Chain A
Amino acid sequence: MNPWLLRLWRFLARPLDLHLLALLGLLSLIGLVTLYSAIDESMTRWSGQLLNYGAALLCMWLVAQISPARIASLAVPLYVLGLLLLVGVALNGDVVNGARRWLHIGVTRIQPSELVKLATPMMIAWYLHRHQEFLKPVHFLTATLLLIAPLALVLRQPDLGTAMLIGAGGFYVLFLAGLRYRVITLLMLLAVAALPVLWSSMHDYQRRRVLTLLDPSQDPLGAGYHTIQAMIAVGSGGFTGKGWTNGTQSHLDFLPERHTDFIFAVFAEEFGMLGAGVMIGVIIAIVLRGLRIASHANGLFARLMAGSLALSFFTYAFVNIGMVIGILPVVGVPLPLVSYGGTSLVTMGLGFGILMSIHRHRSNLHAT
């Protein structure tokens, strides 16, 4: 190989975990191939998404340069900024489809809940790291409050899906920091007890989605339409699938949101059980690699953050696929690295950048 190219490659690859990079690349490739079919072979949108991948890769590479200590020092400002923006949304946001999620900043609109997805676990991890010498129940209580503040604001928008993801991200930090199983059980019982309260405070469309999950055929042209059409797409794909770009459900316009939240249905229709198994395998491998990085992480902040990031990735994928195949309610969660959309990709890039940085500064104690 040309020595210059070799040096360039070394420079680019130095901060990165090549195992993780290869797995992410594989999933992205699956995403691009599926997207091409899902957007009816429109090159303009396809190349647009290619640019989004480029932006995400760049974000990842840049964040990977920063040491975990430096990242930890950003936790407080990012968290405060995120909270302020959420308050801004609540006071002065744009209403789209009945939910107040967007905020105008000069020329562009942003969705602050994306930032909060990363900033909240960072904040909790930073807080627990500061008090790691003597972690007492009172610290866990404070950390829980740090989680509830953004959660409540996002729930109010209302954005059930994102609230759930933020809640999960924060909970993983608490769990990995050693929150006692007794307390976890107690929290779960409390959550179950709170369900009726939550139900009564839900919007009509949210209730409909939950009811639809229990029996989609109740409302086949309304709320159940997404689920029914997605299940038909997945089921009719069979073991080997209908072949790339040959899915009838997607190409005959039966499948809604097929390039964004329901892209898994397109994939499963065209590549069948076999393809879906491969995709899920790659996702599991990414999560396990993330957990491995977490297990070698140096310092409490890095450990908690790495674990939370890996488990969050699992959650996104699980919630999305579960929704498409009808075991979870329809919430607006994209399939990470596969669904069309720049925001979600860039958030993923930033998250994996942190993971890469943690990997680079791993502890030698458990090095393999």
Chain B
Amino acid sequence: MKLTTREELDDTEKYQARLQVAAVFIIAAFGVLLARLLVLQTVQYEYYHTLAESNRISLVPSPPNRGLITDRNGVVLAENRAVYTLEVYPKDIADLKSTLRELSGVIDLNDADLRRFDKRLRESRKFDRVAVKSFLSDAEVARFAAAKYRFAGVELTTRLFRSYPMGTTAAHVLGHVGRISPRDKAALEARGETPAYLGIESIGKDGVEKTYEAELRGVAGYAEVETDAAGRGIRTLSQTASTPGNRLRLALDIQLQKIGEEAFAGRRGAAVAIEPATGDILALVSQPSFDPNAFVDGIDPATWRQLNDSRDRPLTNRPLRGAYPPGSTIKPFMALAALETGTRPAERSIFDPGYYTLPGQAHHYRCWKSEGHGAVDLHRSVVVSCDTYYYGLAVEMGIERMHDFLARFNFGKVSGIDIEGERSGLNPNEAWKRARFKDKWYAGDTVSAGIGQGYVLATPMQLAYATAVMANRGTAFRPHLAKEVVDIQSGKLRRVQPKPEYTTHFDEGNLERVLDAMVGVTQPGGTASQAAAGAPYRIAGKTGTAQVIGIKQGHKYRESEIDERYRDHAWFIAFAPAEAPRIALAILVENGGHGGSAAAPVARKMMDYWLLGKMPDAPAEVAQ
């Protein structure tokens, strides 16, 4: 401890003096505050009390009309419907329980309604109005109107609700809106968008409703409302109109969509139709589907569980989320690879005894036709879908060259479609396997990859995109659902300009050979000849069958002996007319068996409609 010098003592005294000055100062300062409070709260109390009592002009937001969504021909797919809603002011009701009991004699209130009401009541603020039930029927409205005198604090209001008139049709494309959740709120806050949502109760949760949320949303208006002391509106003083959201026109043709969905006839699967020259998505089918209307006012837990737990997974957007082995549909791309990489000339024939063996190994990689196809050249390999041809081709080409070539058709990458949730599929190579399994790549891996099995995975969206690129001779237009946005304020159109995403160049002669072979698939002798029979236009296509389970050596796959869920998936990819393609398709029927018999007829129905305007034999009904 230092000695205390005379000087330091002086300093200390000076410091203590300063502290005392400070103490006096702060007490004086707080004295000023207290004096001011005294004036405000006692002397001027009457004045401010009156002001607070008459503080009755409040701003009430009026929600905007959300923008309409239509298909390419203007058919409305999402609109807004005025809905009668019964609301209560909990503050004005002495006994909420008995009021609800009495109400249930006038309108239908089931347990789910009451549970939802409890939830909303808990989330509400002290002076909020809380909805008891929405979507009242006309009869309920009439009964309540007659009995209204008995219910103080209960009011009938109209609110706008999103409505999807097509029901389950195109549900995965549209997505749905829902009440803004705490998580949505946090996300909006993080992006600084909270102010835009004043007075807005719902937000796009999925599909184009989510992607184009900012366009569809609109801007809320305000009404200056005179209120009584409890905050209830008495009369509107002035109003600032809300600005409706912009209208979204999709590239989708709802009639084509409907035909596609009905062609599945209850089977599970996916279909994607693209206009090759623009990237317009004409149809995006995911079966089974769900009714998005159930989500609009908050889905009730029972319905949610039923949808979410269903073995058929109706909520899954199969064209984007379903990654399946592409099976034989990969063969046209492999055939083009054979020519472009110079691995095999088109004329060279191989002999197919019904199986393929790697040099020095006994394992039989079987062709789907156990007795073999005999001599097979490139054209025939596509037309009859010879597996043996492609086992050998893949080994000769090597996995790296195969991977690089398939990447030019966007395998293993997302297409970039304008709704969320797309999966990238899998275009495997040695580096991938090392990173994923810490294992080296075996020759056998290449063999199965050659026929689109093994590690190879693709979504229906990817196969449709690849087919469109093939149809377009190497020019890729990014697939998109939105065609244009109609600005409601100015009436101006903002078109989604189709511009090539990338171009990949092929030798014209090589391309012609492959396209010719794909046309052969739909001609007599080809695997899809039956489904294409009698078509007045030429179809280039390829069937495919994706294995769900492996078959043991020496065993045979017999459809009738296998549980339905383990049967093969059926694929068909196609474009037409072959010489000037206007539509490119990928169809997948889960556990459908053969591509030619299960998937190709779906494509045929869709092409007939799109190219000829022909309706299927059992006409699809489209509500107009």
Closest approach, in angstroms, between the C-beta of A60 and any C-beta of chain B?
22
Q: A40-B125, A277-B34 known; A311 and B26 CB under 8 Å?
A: yes
The CA-CA distance from A225 to B126 in the complex, in Å, is: 23
Query: Contact residue range for chain B?
Result: 35 or more
Q: A248-B55, A365-B4 known; A307 and B19 CB under 8 Å?
A: yes
Q: Are B40 and A235 in contact (CB under 8 A)?
A: yes
Q: A273-B41, A307-B22, A311-B22 known; A236 and B51 CB under 8 Å?
A: yes
Identify B41's interface contact among A41, A237, A251, CB under 8 A: A237
Residues in A with CB closer than 8 Å to B29 are 314, 318
* Cβ of B18 under 8 Å from chain A: yes
* Cβ of A288 under 8 Å from chain B: yes
The CA-CA distance from A280 to B27 in the complex, in Å, is: 10
Query: Which of B29, B45, B48, B126 has most A Cβ within 10 Å?
Result: B48
- Per-residue 0/1 for B13-54: is the Cβ within 8 Å of any A Cβ (1 yes, 0 no)? 011101100110011011011101110111011011101110
The CA-CA distance from A44 to B4 in the complex, in Å, is: 56
Identify B33's interface contact among A41, A237, A245, A322, CB under 8 A: A322
Query: Which of B34, B41, B126, B182 has most A Cβ within 10 Å?
Result: B41
Closest approach, in angstroms, between the C-beta of B167 and any C-beta of chain A?
36
Binds B, one of A10-18, A137-145, A190-198, A226-234: A226-234
Closest approach, in angstroms, between the C-beta of A35 and any C-beta of chain B?
14
* Cβ of B127 under 8 Å from chain A: yes
* Cβ of B416 under 8 Å from chain A: no
Identify B52's interface contact among A248, A280, A288, A327, CB under 8 A: A248
Closest approach, in angstroms, between the C-beta of B286 and any C-beta of chain A?
36
Q: Are B40 and A325 in contact (CB under 8 A)?
A: yes
Q: Are A253 and B15 in contact (CB under 8 A)?
A: no
* Cβ of A178 under 8 Å from chain B: yes
Identify A231's interface contact among B11, B26, B38, B48, CB under 8 A: B48
- Name B50's closest neighbour in chain A (CB-CB): A236
* Cβ of A176 under 8 Å from chain B: yes
Query: Contact residue range for chain A?
Result: 35 or more
Q: Are B33 and A238 in contact (CB under 8 A)?
A: no
Q: A231-B48, A251-B126, A252-B127 known; A283 and B41 CB under 8 Å?
A: no
Q: Are B52 and A295 in contact (CB under 8 A)?
A: no
Residues in A with CB closer than 8 Å to B51 are 232, 235-236
* Cβ of A80 under 8 Å from chain B: no
* Cβ of B80 under 8 Å from chain A: no
Closest approach, in angstroms, between the C-beta of B191 and any C-beta of chain A?
13
Q: A325-B36, A365-B4 known; A252 and B44 CB under 8 Å?
A: no
Q: Are B42 and A238 in contact (CB under 8 A)?
A: yes
* Cβ of A303 under 8 Å from chain B: yes
Query: Which of A235, A307, A321, A325 has most B Cβ within 10 Å?
Result: A235
Identify B55's interface contact among A239, A252, A272, A325, CB under 8 A: A252
The CA-CA distance from A176 to B30 in the complex, in Å, is: 20
Q: Are B37 and A178 in contact (CB under 8 A)?
A: no
Residues in A with CB closer than 8 Å to B182 are 44
The CA-CA distance from A321 to B41 in the complex, in Å, is: 14
* Cβ of A305 under 8 Å from chain B: no
- Per-residue 0/1 for A292-312: is the Cβ within 8 Å of any B Cβ (1 yes, 0 no)? 001100000001000100010
Q: Are A176 and B41 in contact (CB under 8 A)?
A: no
Where chain A touches its partner, the secondary structure class is helix
Q: Are A235 and B33 in contact (CB under 8 A)?
A: no
* Cβ of A59 under 8 Å from chain B: no
Q: A236-B49, A283-B30 known; A268 and B58 CB under 8 Å?
A: no
The CA-CA distance from A326 to B18 in the complex, in Å, is: 30
The CA-CA distance from A249 to B18 in the complex, in Å, is: 42
Q: Are B30 and A295 in contact (CB under 8 A)?
A: no
Q: Are A41 and B40 in contact (CB under 8 A)?
A: no
Q: Are A295 and B19 in contact (CB under 8 A)?
A: yes
The CA-CA distance from A276 to B42 in the complex, in Å, is: 13
Q: Are B27 and A268 in contact (CB under 8 A)?
A: no
The CA-CA distance from A29 to B18 in the complex, in Å, is: 32
* Cβ of B231 under 8 Å from chain A: yes
- Name A299's closest neighbour in chain B (CB-CB): B2
Q: A40-B125, A176-B15, A295-B19 known; A236 and B30 CB under 8 Å?
A: no
Closest approach, in angstroms, between the C-beta of B149 and any C-beta of chain A?
27
- Name A310's closest neighbour in chain B (CB-CB): B22
The CA-CA distance from A321 to B126 in the complex, in Å, is: 26
* Cβ of B611 under 8 Å from chain A: no
Q: Are A327 and B36 in contact (CB under 8 A)?
A: yes
* Cβ of A244 under 8 Å from chain B: no
Q: Are B48 and A236 in contact (CB under 8 A)?
A: yes
Q: A235-B45, A254-B55 known; A294 and B19 CB under 8 Å?
A: yes
The CA-CA distance from A248 to B11 in the complex, in Å, is: 54
The CA-CA distance from A268 to B41 in the complex, in Å, is: 9
* Cβ of B229 under 8 Å from chain A: yes
- Name B40's closest neighbour in chain A (CB-CB): A235
Q: Are B15 and A238 in contact (CB under 8 A)?
A: no
Q: Are B30 and A235 in contact (CB under 8 A)?
A: no
18 pairs of residues in contact across A and B, judged by CB atoms under 8 Å: A172-B22, A176-B22, A234-B41, A235-B51, A235-B52, A236-B53, A248-B55, A253-B58, A254-B58, A287-B26, A294-B19, A307-B22, A314-B29, A325-B40, A326-B36, A327-B32, A327-B33, A365-B12
Give me the interface of A with B, judged by CB distance under 8 Å. 40-42, 44, 172, 175-176, 178, 229, 231-239, 245, 248-249, 251-254, 268, 272-273, 276-277, 280, 283-284, 287-288, 291, 294-295, 303, 307, 311, 314, 318, 321-322, 325-327, 365
